[in-house]
Amino acid sequence: MSIENLSSNKSFAGWHKQYNHYAETLSCTMRFAIYLPPQAANGQKVPVLYWLSGLTCTDENFMQKAGAHRAAAELGVAIVAPDTSPRGEDVADDESYDLGQGAGFFVNATEAPWSSHYQMYNYVVNELPALIEANFPVNDQRAIAGHSMGGHGALVIALRNPQRYCSVSAFSPISNPMNCPWGKKAFTAYLGEDTHSWRDYDASLLMREATQPVPALVDQGEADRFLTEQLQPERLEAAATDSGYPLQLRRHEGYDHSYYFISSFIDEHLRFHANHFNK
């Protein structure tokens, strides 16, 4: 479980750091970023929020644009942001932005050529937390959050692993990927033509069938250009209503799909997770 430090920057009395490591799950070298709040430097083990970013993003987008360090430092919460896909010259890719490198969709691919590396679900659920907990002063309290494709990933992972997470949140998640262009394209490539296997990665279907809920917060901008065709939050909301799932879905007039939206409400998400850590 060796890791290589690439950069270190002091931020709000804590530290933002980037690391490389070889990911056995993905059969390639991966990069992740971690923010360690000041409490972690004083011998205290802190809880962790795992952040999954959207299409075309890396570990850097959230850490540099979201403005999350101030609240994380105040609350004593570490943040871990992995890359959004495997990377490397021998890793399968596609010319389009919504498939291949930068677009892992947080699934375990079963179809060639993707299955050799694209095991992002297993990486985020198992390998990355084990690495973090072995190398940093964190405890076993975890939350997960994300944006767009990463919001889809966070919801799916929490819904399928309720024992591992105290809470889940998302900005503008792809709520019903089985029934939107982004999801259909990615799932066909990564998982094949049998749509029954797709159900394991669809948050709306999983939320409708959930029996062990994880408290969930979702924020959606009403001026998001992907709202109607790709995101479809009303389907997630309907699933929560049918199953009685503890979902708080908030709509915000005028906000779009950008990090301006995320930075406007990220403090509230961090406090949401901190409250559930404390419980």
Assign residue 115 a region (left: φ > 0; alpha: ψ between -120 and 50; beta: otherwise).
Answer: alpha
Backbone angles phi and psi of 67, in degrees to 5: 70, 40
161/93 Cα distance (integer angstroms): 29
87/271 Cα distance (integer angstroms): 33
3-state secondary structure of 20: strand
Backbone angles phi and psi of 135, in degrees to 5: -120, -10
Q: Could you identify the residue written with the tokens 């209503």?
A: 241
∠ Cα 210 196 187 (to 5°): 100
CB 124 within 8 A of CB 106: yes
Annotated active-site positions, please? 148, 224, 257
Cα torsion 17, 18, 24, 27 to 10°: value is 170
